[in-house]
Structure 1
Amino acid sequence: MFFGKLLPREGNFFELFNQHGAFVVEGARAFMQLVQHYTDPLAREKHSADVIAAERAADKVTAEVNRALHRTFITPLDREQIHSLINSMDDIVDLLQDSSEVMSLYDLQHVSEDVIRLAEISLRCCERVQHVVSLLPNLRDQATAESALKTCEEIDRLESDADRVMRSAMSRLFREEVDTRELIKLKAVYEHLESISDRCEDVANLIEGIVLENS
């Protein structure tokens, strides 16, 4: 019993999840600003830098969670769940940065309405991820657990919306774009943006499992 009292317990995993969730939303909002002000080179550069800053900050939180896993004996969730959840969240911010970099590296000259729509869905997904992560400490409360499952369902619906937008965008792109280079560029951007909602759905699926295990 005395030995058990000496072992590191709990850690601050929920606090770290909340910090990371805030950076996910920060990156998504910066990316939305980048898309909305894409025709302004100075604004584009600023918002791109903001996306990068959010990604780097999120990386630091991810590293801290992984360090905490090594030094904490008793964790509030299954260790594999913690590891999978923080890395799935980090994948979201990585894709936001990747999307920003693809637009720059490919020298995309304009953004279509479909890019804007996908960015909007991505932002909404990221905001829902932040919300559902904030509920994790109180999942034993029935109302909180139900709210978490409802939010996961919202993320699933948003991911389906992103799928539909991308399919429509791809169809329009291949029918109407006559410049092959622009077609290749926009296709890559569409695919990156749709993947953001996929990674948000990964987080939702993980949290659904956590809720069901703890209910």
Structure 2
Amino acid sequence: MLFGKLLPREGNFFEMFNQHATHIVEAAQAFAQLVANYADLELREKYNQEVDTAERAADRVTAEVNRLIHTTFITPIDREQIHSLINTMDDVADLIQDSAETMALYDVRHMTVEITRLTELSVKCCERLKDVVGMLGKIGDQKTAEAALKTCEEIDKLESDADRVMRTAMSKLFREEPDVREVIKLKAIYELLETITDKCEDVANEIEGIVLENA
């Protein structure tokens, strides 16, 4: 499919995918800074606000894409694929914001090694997601299509790494944490952070399908 020729100027979906992916990375990096500076209340609030700002920007892109699906005569890929991809991407941004909010709501007092490691893996997943989204407009080129599929495999591996970290974290938590309230809090945080990588894998699966159908 000749994406460049079929893409109407007013329906630049690939550019909007790129914008959304950029906001996802902004949210993930701000969240990582929140975790790294958690002991500093001012910095914690600053990075919390940055997460919120990035998530709201992602929401606006999602709304615009969903509007354009109904008003653009010719779309570069199937409308259902566009709708599913942008909304799955938006789930990633939502989960990052949910993680930051849950830490505040549950009054988590300190960061654990496991939170830091899961956060690092989430950021890497989001960065690779941005990379592969940036390839979508050129998947008619065989080398780009192959690079996109390889990046999807890398996201899958990062998600598997996060699974292992979470299993170890849960085992340690239930063996070593005597405070039931802390167990409940940290369990919720671990699960949310691992779900970010799950959702990135869902995006990769969506993109893999698009590549295989359209390359």
**Mapped partners of 1:143, 1:39: distance in 2:** 46
**Mapped partners of 2:13, 2:211: distance in 1:** 16
Q: Which amino acid aligns with 1:150?
A: K
Which residue number corresponds to residue 208 of structure 1?
Answer: 208
**Mapped partners of 1:28, 1:212: distance in 2:** 28
Query: How far is the alpha carbon of 1:9 from its aligned partner?
Result: 3.6
Matched, 1:168 2:168: yes
Tell me the alpha carbon deviations over residues 189-213 of structure 1, each in whole angstroms, 9 at most, x when there is no partner.
Answer: 0000000000000000000001100
Matched, 1:147 2:147: yes
Query: How far is the alpha carbon of 1:79 from its aligned partner?
Result: 0.2
Aligned-partner SS, 1:107: coil
Query: How far is the alpha carbon of 1:214 from its aligned partner?
Result: 1.3
Matched, 1:99 2:99: yes
Which residue number corresponds to residue 46 of structure 1?
Answer: 46
The number of aligned residues is 208
Which residue number corresponds to residue 70 of structure 2?
Answer: 70
**Mapped partners of 2:98, 2:211: distance in 1:** 31
Query: How far is the alpha carbon of 1:147 from its aligned partner?
Result: 0.3
**Mapped partners of 1:36, 1:18: distance in 2:** 27
Trace 1:108-187 onto structure 2 (pairs within 5 A): 108-187=108-187
**Mapped partners of 1:63, 1:214: distance in 2:** 25
**Mapped partners of 2:45, 2:80: distance in 1:** 38
**Mapped partners of 1:91, 1:110: distance in 2:** 26
**Mapped partners of 2:92, 2:8: distance in 1:** 29
Tell me the alpha carbon deviations over residues 34-74 of structure 1, each in whole angstroms, 9 at most, x when there is no partner.
Answer: 00001111110000110000000000000000111110011
Please list every run of 5 or more consecutive structure 1 residues that lacks an aligned counterpart in the other structure: 1-7
Query: How far is the alpha carbon of 1:106 from its aligned partner?
Result: 0.2
Aligned-partner SS, 1:75: coil
Matched, 1:199 2:199: yes
Q: TM-score, normalised by structure 1?
A: 0.95
Please list every run of 5 or more consecutive structure 2 residues that lacks an aligned counterpart in the other structure: 1-6
**Mapped partners of 1:14, 1:34: distance in 2:** 30
Which residue number corresponds to residue 4 of structure 2?
Answer: none
Q: Which amino acid aligns with 2:175?
A: R
**Mapped partners of 2:106, 2:86: distance in 1:** 30
Q: TM-score, normalised by structure 2?
A: 0.95
**Mapped partners of 1:70, 1:146: distance in 2:** 31
**Mapped partners of 1:76, 1:188: distance in 2:** 39
Please provide the CA RMSD for this pair: 0.9
What's the % identity of the aligned pairs? Answer: 66
**Mapped partners of 1:39, 1:170: distance in 2:** 23
**Mapped partners of 1:179, 1:43: distance in 2:** 27
Query: How far is the alpha carbon of 1:161 from its aligned partner?
Result: 0.3
Regions of 4+ moved over 6 Å: none
Query: How far is the alpha carbon of 1:76 from its aligned partner?
Result: 0.2
Q: Which amino acid aligns with 1:117?
A: R
Which residue number corresponds to residue 60 of structure 1?
Answer: 60
Which residue number corresponds to residue 3 of structure 2?
Answer: none
